[in-house]
């Protein structure tokens, strides 16, 4: 970098390659003595959830449509349009069936990528 009087000013980082390697080696040694490798600590929260049945807790009384059989609501955690969403998380569709059974579905249409609307009991379909 040049200074006003055309002299060159040299900037040196205080975090050198040698310092990085030393911190990395010491950190790895300390974490292994603590009973868990650093990679296990780092990646522990990044593991995918096993597919299968999950639990979605919804206060049914907070949604008028879910008080009746064939009621349906779409719960959105992120902004979306009918043509899709800007992120990986589509809204969740909660449908109420007979005998107080509830069904939670992903609203992502697998062939068009759009957001599926709630179930319409009059039409007998999601329209």
How would DSSP label each residue in 74-91?
EE-SS-EETTEESSS---
Domain-embedded: residue 48: no
Q: Which residues of the chain are under the pLDDT cut of 70?
A: 1-15, 30-54, 56, 77-88
- C-alpha to C-alpha distances, 4 to 1, 7, 9, nearest whole angstrom: 10, 7, 10
Structural domain contains residue 126: no
Cβ(104)–Cβ(94) below 8 Å: yes
CA-to-CA distance for 102 and 69, rounded, in angstroms?
A: 9
Whether residue 61 contacts residue 67, with contact meaning beta carbons closer than 8 Å, is answered with yes
| Cβ–Cβ < 8 Å for 100, 115 | no
Residue 92: its pLDDT value, please?
Answer: 84
What is residue 99's predicted lDDT score, i.e. its pLDDT? Answer: 92
The answer to whether position 116 is within a domain reads yes
Kindly report, residue by residue over 54-90, the tens digit of the pLDDT.
676 778 888 898 888 999 988 876 666 666 666 667 7
| Domains: count for the chain | 2
By residue range, what is the domain housing residue 23? Answer: 1-42
How far apart (Å, rounded) are the C-alpha atoms in residues 69 and 60? 12
Residue 117, in any domain of the structure: yes
pLDDT in the model for residue 53: 62
Residues 69 and 114 in one domain: yes
Residue 104 lies in a domain: yes
| pLDDT value, residue 103 | 86
Tell me what pLDDT residue 9 has.
Answer: 55
């Amino acid at each position: 970098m040049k200074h006003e009087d055309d002299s060159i000013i040299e900037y040196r980082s205080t975090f050198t390659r040698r310092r990085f390697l030393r911190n990395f080696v010491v950190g790895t040694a300390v974490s292994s003595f603590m009973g868990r490798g650093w990679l296990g600590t780092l990646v522990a929260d990044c593991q995918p959830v096993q597919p299968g049945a999950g639990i979605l807790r919804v206060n049914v009384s907070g949604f008028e449509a879910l008080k009746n059989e064939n009621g349906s609501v779409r719960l959105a955690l992120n902004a979306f349009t009918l043509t899709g969403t800007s992120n990986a998380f589509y809204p969740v569709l909660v449908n109420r069936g007979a005998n107080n059974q509830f069904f939670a579905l992903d609203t992502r249409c697998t062939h068009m990528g759009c957001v599926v609307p709630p179930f319409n009991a009059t039409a007998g379909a999601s329209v």
